[in-house]
Amino acid sequence: MKTYQSFGALARALTRSIEEMPATFLEVAETGAELVREGAKAKIGHYQEAAGPFPKWAELKDATKADRVRQGFSENDPLLRTGELRDSIKSEATPAGFIVGSASPIAEYQGLGTAHIPPRPFLSSSLFESAPAVVTALGSAVELTIAGSK
């Protein structure tokens, strides 16, 4: 444990930590956004097992498989056709947090499901799976910033 020779030294160390914290938070938010974004992209084209509150992805219907083949796509790669959905996944980070999402309407109805399509959550499940790593990274980064090691 670090000791300080005076209350003034402690105050200077705490002031330095406070000043450096936004950069620390931004760094962790950027890392978290990348983890979630890349995790979501990796789910496209691959069946997913249940994760927390998110269901296992249902097998594509035979009619869907046949339609995919008729259009020149592989038969059984869920959510993947041209790669447009995968490539639409973007992220933003600020010291206050991060956002990962897609402006594609396809993302919404594929992720949440419809009356005719079962849900295949890829954004929310990626966040769920990445959360422990993001929280660990945040704790470590804050600890290092306070200790003056960053």
pLDDT tens across 38-51, in order?
999 999 999 999 99
CA–CA dist 43, 100 (Å, integer) = 14
**CB 47, CB 118: distance < 8 Å:** no
Question: Could you tell me the pTM of the whole model?
Answer: 0.89
Residue 100: predicted pLDDT = 98
CA–CA dist 61, 75 (Å, integer) = 10
Q: How confident is the model at residue 120 (pLDDT cuts 50, 70, 90)?
A: very high
Whether residue 58 has pLDDT greater than 70: yes
CA–CA dist 127, 103 (Å, integer) = 17
Contacts of 122 by beta carbon, 8 Å cutoff, 6+ apart: 40, 43, 44, 48, 79, 107, 110, 111
Q: How many residues belong to the chain? A: 150
